[in-house]
Amino acid sequence: MKVAIVGGTGPEGAGLAVRWALTGHSVVIGSRDAARARATAAELGGRAKSASIIGMTNRDAAAAGEVVVLTLPATSLAAALPEVKDGCRGKVVVSTVVPLTFGGGRLFTPPPAGSAAEEAQRLLGPEAKVVAAFHHIAAHELVSGQPLDCDLLLCGDDPAAKATVAELGQSLGLRVLDVGPLANAGPLEGITALLATINRRYKIKNAGVRITGLLG
């Protein structure tokens, strides 16, 4: 699968890029700055030897990818998504975005749409098939190279799109659980705020989510 990561020069995007490249997917790193995207792709390619990782602008990356993954800050969605809207038409778009505000009274600060994923759907239009997923895997866990010890929770309104994202999650060794429609993205994203609080309170870095009571 050819996966384009919009905002892929950050830690989360880079970690996902290396993991997917090592499992045989082709990865396109996107950035506002094409030179930065190419430099990041070259550096990641050195860590994932013989893997396919290239760099482009966000616009070109979205156009090139079969699946588009958003690893942008929540505050950047309004500026970044209009320029990739055409490239996302008819495609699965994975939102990993969590609207967190550090240093204030409320850590989880969703937009009026209810969640970053729903905001992405609004900005990209109905032709994009937005699925919310990969929020609860910390960047340092992705880059560690160690097995990921958590479940992948995802939600969205298009069953085929969710199946595609489930395939991407399973390729990373994750058990994938469908938690319903995109309207559930707010609670799903909010779990990240709880995990961040747990990490801080108990002085750990790898709090994760695993659902009990299910076989397999």
pLDDT in tens, 127-172: 999 999 999 998 888 888 889 999 999 999 999 999 999 999 999 9
User: What's the DSSP call for residue 148?
Assistant: P
CATH code for the domain in which residue 71 is found: 3.40.50.720
| Residue 35, H or E segment | helix 34-47
Residue type, 100: L
- Dihedral sign for Cα atoms in the order 196, 197, 198, 201: positive
pLDDT of 26-68, one tens digit each? 999 999 999 999 999 999 988 877 678 999 999 999 999 999 9
What percent of the chain is modeled with pLDDT above 90? Answer: 88
Percent of residues in the chain assigned helix, strand, coil, to nearest 5? 45, 20, 35
Predicted TM-score of the model (pTM): 0.96
Does residue 180 form part of some domain? yes
| Domain of residue 150, residue span | 2-202
For residues 49 and 24, what is the distance between their CA atoms, to the nearest angstrom?
Answer: 11
Let me know if residue 153 belongs to a domain. Answer: yes
If residue 2 lies in a helix (H) or strand (E), which one and from where to where? strand 2-6
Domain membership of residue 31 (yes or no) is yes
pLDDT of residue 206: 87
**Confidence tier at 119 by pLDDT (50, 70, 90):** very high
pLDDT of amino acid 50: 60
Considering only CA atoms, which of 206, 201, 192 is closest in space to residue 136?
A: 192
Block residue for tokens 């707010």: 186
**209 lies in a domain?**
no
- In this prediction, residue 216 carries a pLDDT of 63
Which tokens sit at 176?
């994938």
- Output phi, psi for 71, to 5 deg: -120, 35
Q: How many domains does one find in the chain?
A: 1
